[in-house]
Chains A and B, each alone.
Chain A
Amino acid sequence: MSMSDDALNAFRAEVRTWLEENCPQEMRDGASGEDAIVWGGRNWKFKSDAQKLWLERMASKGWTVPTWPVEYGGAGLDRAHHKILLDEMRKMGARVPLQSFGIWMLGPALLAFGSHEQKLQYLPPIARGEVRWCQGYSEPGAGSDLASVQTKAESDGDHYIVNGQKIWTSYADKADCIFALVRTDRDAPKHLGITFLLIDMETPGVTTKPIRLISGKSPFCETFFDDVRVPKANVVGTENRGWDVAKHLLTHEREMISGGGQGLLGGRPLGAVLSEQDGGLTDPVLRAEAMACEIDALAVALTLERYKDQAESGGGVGDASAMLKYAGTELNKRRHELMMSAGGADALIWDGKHDGLAADWLRTKANSIEGGTSEVMLSIISRRVLGLPA
């Protein structure tokens, strides 16, 4: 056994002991649904004392954002140590203590593009769950064509005056702050006039309105900016070069959305789920479709694993992440169509015996739209991976 194996094993033992001593019993049920998620933020109401305690303890170890540097609220773990932490949490069924767009998206973007002061100011509150962020990218009429954003930020001394509208801003009504793409130069080529700006939602002139979706409820909102004054110090990266930040962040978003399918892919076999629903998966057509879906799901999960291996070995995945987003979300739609078929009439009842299935089924339809549609993913692959002419 090598030295590094010894070190990793020692870390594993340490993690296990700490988790045993610190993870409240109530947080060990492996729950991951909407009710189990802690989003944090200024107005966050914990659902139990255990939830609050768990977050505080994990944040004190830097384990809400294990791979971030210690000075920014993380634990500075490399991938091997991070994997051990995740393994041990999974083994005991420990809930994820905190989730947020701050962790998934803004954090990685700030780590890559933010100034040292910005990192010190924004990252630790994200790690402790004190500030909740939302993403202001899409606009009415823009869709996946992000570079065509129209929300404008006009210079006024050391401030901008922001006017415009964002759409599909998930949880904007609950967020404290928004990271947004705004147009700071109307005359520059599309990609070169955009700035990545951090805006406090309590600034006068910011309003939100929820959007109701076909699944009944939704996290989505419209967000309006009406003469909103934002300090120029809130620019991440360089003025007019926000596109670089946005692209970096989109890669993380794609990985997150396709990774969202990972829970399903790595979870219970589709055959077992369907058997329960139709009492044995006897229908030959459904059975054949389910077999095909299962084969593809296993292969996609292995591809996720292979890409992680690649990332761990130091080679980036890059634009191939578009493939995972495309394959994962399309598969998730297929999988939910099958589950609805197997459930039959029982699956059509909102809160019937397949609790939440109908809403989940409808929600999967958005997976291949948000974060760039499947068609946009295919265009990314054809141009940037295959080198076909634009």
Chain B
Amino acid sequence: MSTLLLTEDETMLQDAARGFLDGAAPVSHFRKLRDAGQTHDAKLWAEMAQMGWTGVLVPEDAGGSDMGHAAAAVLAGELGKTLVTSPFISTAVIAATALRQVATDRARDALAAIADGSVIYGLAVDEGAKHDPDATQLEAKADGNGFRLSGTKGFVVDGSNADRLLVLAKTDAGLTLFDLPADREGITRTGQNMVDARDAAQVTFDNVQATGDDVLGSVDDAMTVLKPALEAGQAALSAEMLGLSAGAFAMTVGYLKERKQFGVEIGRFQALQHRAAHLWSETEITLSAVRHAGRKLDEDPDNATLAVSLAKARATQTAKLAVIEGVQMHGGIGMTDDFDMGFFMKRARVATEWLGDYGYHAAKVAAARGF
């Protein structure tokens, strides 16, 4: 395995991303979008494509930059720091990883479209309140040479803005993954008013027609394609949550240094110092798990489950701590909508649930460690 340090290329990518996002998408940019009731910034997405970010996991022969999962984590981390709203994870990470498992011209064209920024994907997997692909009930009934899909998906992140949907459905002898245009007849999308002010939709399928061509991978064998994609998404989301934690933490430490009470900076109080130091320790430790997950996906993807679930479990706990402490140490101001900390808290909660919460991933770690 490579080291857990950033390579020179990854450091350059990180610096470039930060430089760009500080100008183009600071937290105030997110606030503007939210106040305008928007969940997508097409111009920003186009710029991200221009810089090669949307092609980070797209092979070079399909027009991507193919920098790998560790690099995707670097980008997701920087996006997390200023709460950048974009379909990066659902499209550039999850959909791209799914599509590259399949060696068809169709998949190659779809990958090219991801790389050039012309398509947005949403992942329609979950149906209940908790992430659980195995519990899929949406049915794809064989119908002549094709299928008829009926059922409902919830928490489809980027679902309203998506051009295409990856849909997990139950077929005769297992689960099957479909790649469908979001406007196919019978599909109805309802945007949900999410606490983090981002796009997630409920999507219903009413006797939606699908052909064999719409199947990604093989019938009854969704996981060969979907498992790597989910793990890639979970790893990138962990990186986003760590970035989010770092963003919230930077605000908090800044506040401890400047805010005065009883005539001195509150950062002089040992009670607060120790809480801040503990929080920093947690982010340092989680950083190692996030780096490890990226490396593992790049170098030994077939055995990455433990590394990925470790990262998501840790990132979930760290982000929760970072935002709880962030609000608490800011006092009353931390609770106001005028202040940004609440945005971090709300995004952390949504990211916690998406693609599996702490309990889901802790159970995977336990299984991998022989509990």
Contact = CB atoms under 8 A, between A and B. Distances in A.
B273 A382 contact: yes
A217 to B, nearest CB: 32
Interface in B275-298: 276-278, 280-281, 284-289, 291-292
Interface residues of A, number: 42
Interface in A257-307: 269-272, 275, 281, 287-288, 290-292, 294-296, 298-300, 302-303, 305-306
Q: How large is the interface on B (under 10, 10 to 19, 20 to 34, 35 or more residues)?
A: 35 or more
Contact of B284 (A292, A323, A375, A382): A323
Contact of B268 (A290, A305, A390): A390
Contacts of B4: 302, 305-306, 309
Nearest to B3: A309
A294 B365 contact: yes
B6 to A, nearest CB: 10
Contact of B253 (A305, A383, A386): A386
Contact of B366 (A271, A302, A320, A388): A271
Contact of B257 (A288, A300, A320, A387): A387
Nearest to B249: A386
Contacts of A323: 280-281, 284-285
Interface string A48-66: 0000000000000000000
A90 B325 CA distance: 42
A359 B66 CA distance: 53
B32 interface: no
A310 B267 CA distance: 29
B323 interface: no
A291 B365 contact: yes
A387 B273 CA distance: 10
A327 B278 CA distance: 9
Contacts, number: 120
A379 interface: yes
B198 interface: no
Contacts of B268: 388-390
A381 B280 contact: yes
B256 interface: yes
A299 B286 contact: yes
B5 A309 contact: yes
B282 to A, nearest CB: 8
B331 interface: no
B172 interface: no
Contacts of A291: 362-363, 365-366, 371
Interface in B245-262: 253, 256-257
Interface string A367-390: 000000001011101110111111
A313 interface: yes
A196 interface: no
Given A269-B369, A292-B362, A298-B310, A386 B285 contact: no
Contact of B281 (A298, A326, A375): A326
B292 A381 contact: no
B117 to A, nearest CB: 34
Nearest to A270: B369
B288 A299 contact: yes
B369 A378 contact: no
B280 A271 contact: no
Interface of B: 3-5, 253, 256-257, 264-265, 267-268, 270, 273-274, 276-278, 280-281, 284-289, 291-292, 310, 313-314, 362-363, 365-366, 369-371
27 contacts: A272-B369, A290-B371, A291-B362, A291-B371, A292-B362, A294-B369, A295-B362, A295-B365, A299-B286, A303-B284, A303-B288, A305-B288, A306-B5, A309-B3, A313-B5, A378-B274, A379-B270, A379-B274, A381-B281, A382-B277, A383-B273, A386-B277, A387-B253, A388-B256, A388-B257, A388-B268, A388-B276
